[in-house]
Amino acid sequence: MPDLSDPARDAIHDAIQANMPMGGEAVLTGWVIVAEWMDHEGERWLSKGRAASTPNWTANGMHHEAIHGDWPDDESDGGT
C-alpha cells in the first residue's frame, strides 16, 4: 500500500485535531489509522496509515496497544 500523500495526511490530522475530546486543550502529536475498503465486487481489504511525524516503530506500537491495551469497558471510565 503506498504511503498517504501529504495533503491526505494533513486533512486527517486537521480532522482529528478539530474533533478532539479534550475541548481543544491538547495538541495532536501523532496518529495511526486503519481503514477497511471494499471494491465493486465485494472484496474487502485493510490499509493503514500514520502521521508524517509518527515513526514506523511508534505506529506499530500504537496498533499493538489498540489491539492488546487495557481499554476501559465504556467511555465513562475515561477512555478515548
> Does pLDDT of 66 surpass 70?
yes
User: What is the rounded average pLDDT for all residues in the chain?
Assistant: 85
Residue 73: how many CB atoms within 10 A of its CB?
7
Contacts of 62 (CB under 8 A, 6+ apart): 30, 31, 32, 50, 54
> Does pLDDT of 39 surpass 90?
yes
> Does pLDDT of 44 surpass 70?
yes
Residue 61 and residue 50: Cα distance in Å, rounded?
Answer: 12
Q: Give the predicted TM-score (pTM) of the model.
A: 0.69
